Chains A and B, each alone.
Chain A
């Protein structure tokens, strides 16, 4: 089956720092989504990004589908950015399920 690998697995930042999270996937996909799971467990959709670049405030994401990776940029990090970031991909096999990576755990210190 498809492999979805995220790096780094853990990241500690000082408030105000920037970071880049990576998601590699092993097969062609229909779309890719990024999620943030806050410390209370709620999963929030950040980006629906099958290709190209999108920005939302301090966050932006880029997916290069032909090279099978996506990047999530967090600028000027805040303590509220802490949590786990997941990427999830939808396979190109007419199946609409999203396969999740194992996540990047981010801790932003004040």
Chain B
């Protein structure tokens, strides 16, 4: 069990550019989540996969955000045409059915 792995750890991009983050969950976990966290706040739900199916997407997620989990393994989160308001820590988490949720170290995005 190597834990949830996220890459990159940090990303600095210019407004208007596209960025993609990767998450590798714990291998036997079928559920995968993306959250966003800004300074002083709790994590905010973005989207959820069970195996390869994206079952829920937050209403807060604009059309510029898209996530995939091909073959039910790793997942990617893409943000198109980044805005300064997208600056945040993006967290990935995984679990196996009704079991504790485990988080990765996150990807910190800074949009300049």
Contacts and interface: CB of A to CB of B under 8 A. Distances in A.
A41 B106 contact: yes
Contacts of A45: 100-103
A98 B55 CA distance: 14
Output the residue of A42, A44, A86, A97 with the most chain B CB within 10 A.
A97
Interface string A12-32: 000000000000000000110
A42 B48 contact: no
A101 B42 contact: yes
Contacts of A101: 42
Given A33-B100, A48-B99, A96-B55, A42 B45 contact: no
B45 A33 contact: no
B89 interface: yes
**Nearest 6 pairs of A and B residues by beta carbon:** A100-B42, A43-B103, A48-B100, A45-B100, A97-B45, A100-B43
